[in-house]
Chain A
């Protein structure tokens, strides 16, 4: 897989790599907040169907360029999370911006004042549209599960980065 970085677009980091190689991820996949496209392209290479979403047009262009570079076909949409998609996906993958905005006020890094707001919005939408989701959470701004009803979750991977813990979380509907 070849991935080119693009100006203003989140460069693949340890949290991106945590999203790769999740064994069960197969089928009809949504890569939300796709950035360079690294996560979705990884699963596209394995023969899955992947649709890419990002709110930032520079990221959407960047993903498209990386798809061309890898000679792969995936659809790219500029959208605010899942607000403009319908239907149900087997897996939704979201490496969100999760830092508090007073520390990092940039769209690819900050997830709101506390930092977890974008993730909360995603999970509320994902309940309807995603059979299973995988999201990244930081110990700096953990997800407040009290705001999210009817979804079960478990930590399935983690890495420590200085004083911060980055967790990969599997999320599914409690009543399947």
Chain B
């Protein structure tokens, strides 16, 4: 399977936000494969809430 089909494109960061306070999300602890994000976490610049990225899919459910 070609890796380029599998993970999160960093451009996605432009259209997602914190679901709670609508703040910008910053990428942390990322593991990059061929320019795409395989795993890591998204941290809200405003409220500090964290959201995991696993297997190229950001999980933006508040917890």
Classify chain A's interface size.
20 to 34
Interface residues of A (CB under 8 A from B): 51, 55, 57, 60-61, 64, 67-68, 71-73, 75-80, 83-87
24 pairs of residues in contact across A and B, judged by CB atoms under 8 Å: A51-B12, A51-B15, A64-B57, A68-B6, A71-B5, A73-B4, A75-B8, A75-B9, A75-B12, A76-B57, A77-B58, A78-B58, A78-B61, A79-B19, A79-B60, A80-B19, A83-B19, A83-B60, A84-B18, A85-B15, A85-B17, A86-B15, A86-B17, A87-B15
Quick check: A72 and B5 within 8 Å, CB to CB?
A: yes
User: In the complex, which of the residues B8, B16, B55 contacts A86, with contact meaning CB atoms closer than 8 Å?
Assistant: B16
Residue of A whose beta carbon sits closest to that of B25: A84
A112 to chain B, nearest CB (A): 18
Quick check: A84 and B16 within 8 Å, CB to CB?
A: yes
Majority secondary structure, B binding face: loop
Which B residues touch A75, using CB under 8 A? 8-9, 12
Q: How many residues of B contact A (CB 8 A)?
A: 23
CA distance A51 to B57 in the complex (A): 12
Quick check: B19 and A84 within 8 Å, CB to CB?
A: yes
Quick check: B16 and A77 within 8 Å, CB to CB?
A: yes
Which B residues touch A61, using CB under 8 A? 55, 57
